[in-house]
Amino acid sequence: MRIRELVDWALDLVYPTRCILCRQFIAPGRPRICPACREKMPVTEGGGRRRGDFFSECVSALYYEADVQSAILRYKFSGAQAYAEAFGELLASCIYEDLEGEYDILSWVPLDARRRRKRGYDQAELLAREAGRRLRREPVRVLRKRPGVKPQSRTGDPAKRKVNIAGAYRAADPALIKGKRILLIDDIVTTGSTLSECAKTLLMAGAEDVRCATLASTR
């Protein structure tokens, strides 16, 4: 953990009432995103809809840039799991507006067991649980990831990402998803390779349809 990340992590523990985007202090009990940041957040247009090889569509709440990008990186890699509440609220609104009635099961793209232990939490699962709480949907695990897969962020171009993630997942319980419409939650979508691989796995296991929702998307 770099020094700046360590300082941010310590400040979040001592002074939890800071805007998760601009890092300015806010009054206790106020939303974790300050009014100024809410006003200028890079909100996607129409959910930033995109399609993949195997998922019907993916919607995203925000574009992955500027303060949003920095905040998500702190959330994923610097122990800022408390951000999940504010992020989950944004994601739930996006899902409600763009995908309400389009899915039967709410789930997430999982980390493998080793990385989850090392990080202490699964950021996509936390997002799913916070969003699900607001949508009155209980998230269900539908996928498991095999260990030893190189992180997509370190892989390179889209072709290499697609090869890297091939065969990385398996259905947790095929009987549970048979004939069901699945909504998968993840933190970021870039090339869409991970979501496509997850969707392919679920469709091959008997799911009827797979849609996706992410907190952020590259433009």
Distances (CA, A) of 93 to 60, 86, 87, 97, 134: 10, 11, 10, 6, 9
Over residues 125-143, the pLDDT tens digits come to: 999 999 999 999 999 999 9
List, for residues 5-61, the tens digit of each pLDDT value: 566 566 555 655 789 999 998 877 667 899 999 999 999 998 899 998 899 999 999
Pick the CATH number of 43-217 from 3.90.45.10, 3.30.230.10, 3.40.50.2020, 3.90.1200.10: 3.40.50.2020
The tens digit of pLDDT for each residue in 102-128 reads: 999 999 999 999 999 999 999 999 999
Q: What is the domain partition of the chain in residue ranges?
A: 43-217
pLDDT for res 18: 86
pLDDT band for 156, please (50, 70, 90 cuts).
Answer: low
pTM for the model: 0.87
HSE value, Cβ hemisphere, 13 Å, CA-based, for 141: 13
CA distance 43 to 49: 12
The rounded Cα 48 to chain-centroid distance in angstroms is 15
Helices (H), 15-139: 35-40, 66-77, 84-99, 113-119, 123-135
